[in-house]
Structure 1
Amino acid sequence: MKLFLVLGGLNAFIGVALGAFGAHGLKSRVAPEMLTVWQTGVQYHLIHALALVLIGILCHLMPEALLFRVSGWAFLSGILLFSGSLYLMVLTGTRQLGMITPLGGLAFLLGWLLLVLAAWRYPGV
């Protein structure tokens, strides 16, 4: 599926841009601990952007493997929930947004577990 390659590439682009924004635009505007929160969001964002690219390649090689696609949607959900909640928390100062972050972490875990299950299940891997 080209979709996951596109989503992975776009998310990598956004992750790099947000990393640069954090390093240059936020450095003098937020407390050091909030800058660390931002950097954590960027780190997980970029790792899972690459995971989306991997899913795109696997979906292209094995279009019948539904678990890879579900894994990709879990990774995308994790980026939105985990990294997105951290970005919003830093930008707004609303620490209650941190309650959403673990849901994104669970989505990341689910994505990796589904990837493992798909690799185990499909002999073409």
Structure 2
Amino acid sequence: MWLAISALNLAIAVIVGAFGAHGLKSRASLEQLNWWHTSTEYFFYNALGLLAIAILVKVSPLFPIKASFLCLQIGIVFFCGSLYLMALGLPRILGAITPIGGTFMILGWLLLAWNAYKLSK
């Protein structure tokens, strides 16, 4: 399941990236395009991270990844989702959600590091 979720995230990242480059380009302000670009970059980085975690669990089934994976997925939805919505013209108050998503992303990576450290002992 982890691998499938990772692949779906990567497919969606390609779709929204293409939409931003082709469908949004002529309709959005520079600020909106920057939000879209930032969101798509973070989406790709963290989706690739999800893929790496999904592969890791195949190689080392005992490695605890659920919390890391969930935090990264929640972070993608909140961080990227809020920026995408603002780029589409929804109220800028959604920007208050963006740091929550970033915090989840950071937490996901820190949990992965902590579990890797614990496993190495």
Query: TM class by shorter-chain length?
Result: over 0.9
Divergent runs of 4+, >3 A: none
Number of residue pairs matched? 121
TM-score norm. by structure 1 comes to: 0.91
Paired residue for 2:76? 79
Aligned partners of 1:64 and 1:77: how far apart in 2? Answer: 23
Tell me if structure 2 keeps the 8 A contact 1:59–1:69: no
| Aligned 1:1-125 pairs, distance under 5 A | 3-66=1-64, 68-123=65-120
Aligned partners of 1:21 and 1:92: how far apart in 2? Answer: 15
Runs of 5+ consecutive residues of structure 1 not aligned to the other structure: none
What letter is aligned with 1:31?
Answer: S
Aligned partners of 1:4 and 1:77: how far apart in 2? Answer: 14
What letter is aligned with 1:94?
Answer: P
Cα deviation 1:20-55 (Å, max 9, x = unaligned): 100110011110111000000000000011011111
What is the root-mean-square deviation of aligned Cα atoms in Å?
Answer: 1.3
Tell me if structure 2 keeps the 8 A contact 1:41–1:86: yes
TM-score norm. by structure 2 comes to: 0.94
